[in-house]
Amino acid sequence: MEHKLQNNSLKLEVLISTMHRVSLHFVDKMFPFQETKNMNILIINQTERGKELQSIIPNIRVINSYDKGLSKSRNLALQNAKGDICLIADDDVEYFPNFEYTVKKAFISFPEASIIRFKINTFSGEQYKLYSLVSKRLFKKREIENTSSIEIAFMRQKISNEIYFNANFGLGSYFTCGEEYLFLKEALKKNKQVYFVSEAIVKHSVKRSTSNMADDQFVKAQAALYYHDYKELSYLYLVKLLFFLFRKGLINKKQMINKYKIGVLAIKTYKKIK
Other C-beta atoms lying within 10 Å of the C-beta of residue 125? 8
Contact in structure between 155 and 81 (CB atoms under 8 Å): no
**92-101, 125-134, 146-155, 205-214: segment of lowest average pLDDT:** 205-214
Give the count of beta carbons closer than 10 Å to the beta carbon of residue 177.
22
| Identity of residue 41 | I
Architecture of domain 2-204: Alpha-Beta Complex (3.90)
Buried b (16+ CB within 10 A) or exposed e, 71-87: bbbbbbbbeebebbbbb
Check pLDDT > 50 for residue 3. Answer: no
Map residue 46 onto helix, strand or coil. Answer: strand
The two beta strands, 85-90 and 40-46, are: unpaired
Domain boundaries, the chain: 2-204, 216-273
CB 246 within 8 A of CB 238: no
What's the start-to-end Cα distance of the chain, in Å? 45
The pLDDT of residue 162 is above 50: yes
Rounded to an integer, what distance in angstroms lies between the CA atom of residue 177 and that of residue 171?
Answer: 6
Reduced to 3 states (helix: H, G, I; strand: E, B; else coil), residue 23 is: coil
Q: Based on C-alpha coordinates, what's the Rg of the chain?
A: 19
- The beta strand positions in 135-272, using DSSP E, are 136-138, 152-155, 194-204
**pLDDT at position 5, please?**
54
Q: Is 188 helix (H, G, I), strand (E, B) or coil?
A: helix
pLDDT in tens, 219-272: 999 999 999 999 999 999 999 999 999 999 999 999 999 999 999 999 999 999
Q: Which of 72, 77, 65 is nearest to 21 (CA)?
A: 65
- Find the angle CA(78)-CA(80)-CA(85) to the nearest 5 degrees: 60
- Tell whether the model's pLDDT for residue 104 goes beyond 90: yes
Q: What is the average per-residue pLDDT within 159-188?
A: 96
Of 6-15, 182-191, 199-208, 225-234, where does mean pLDDT reach its minimum? 6-15
